[in-house]
Amino acid sequence: MISDIFKGFRKAKEISFNYLYTPYAKLIFYLNGVKFASNLTVFGFMKVIVTRRGSVTIGKNLVVNSGNNYNIIGRQQKTIFWVEGSLTIGDNVGMSSAAIICNHSIKIGNNVTIGGNSVIYDTDFHSINPEIRQNKAMDKLNAKSGKVIINDNVFIGAHSTILKGVTIGVNSIVGACSVVTKDIPDNEIWAGNPAQFIKSISF
């Protein structure tokens, strides 16, 4: 009996908060100058930081799970957009507790699924030169960046890392916990650290 009451209270609380998250996300997007289309759905509170030179465009039907109440597969965190460059997200994209750090350019196509706790970085963040790293301003200026392109119908498995300069081809799949350091052609499955070719996909 007590268990039933607790579960009912938990469900009621979840439903109540669900009505808050999407309007809050829309407000945060608006304040950051994010252009977003219809049918945005967000569960949990996001962290969104778009700098003065950054720009974000989001297509229709973006679905975001954010935080430990809506991403229960481990390593829970808020979904994070940190954008100093150009971030474009297409239609029908879903992500769960992901971190997208866009210093230069990241383009995500249509019908893309980004698994829980995956991260996408288009910069190395730091120089490989140890002397330059001692100066924070010079370190940032000398960090290498490269455009990231994730094409239509890509599935990125949970806990994966997509690094700078990478293009992932149409319909391709990245296995869970992979680190993608180079381009993946269309219609292929890659996995591992670093990610390597597993097999082709035929339809």
CA-closest candidate to residue 32, choices 82, 66, 78? 82
> 3-state DSSP call for residue 32?
coil
List, by residue number, the catalytic residues: 126
CATH code: domain of residue 115: 2.160.10.10
Number of structural domains, the chain? 1
> Mind listing the pLDDT tens digit for each residue in 81-93?
999 999 999 999 9
> Mind listing the pLDDT tens digit for each residue in 106-130?
999 999 999 999 999 999 888 888 8
Task: Quote the domain boundaries for residue 193.
Answer: 2-200
> Mind listing the pLDDT tens digit for each residue in 147-183?
999 999 999 999 999 999 999 999 999 999 999 999 9
Could you tell me which residues come within 8 angstroms of residue 132 by beta carbon, excluding any fewer than 6 positions away? 138, 139, 142
Other beta carbons within 10 angstroms of residue 2's beta carbon come to 6
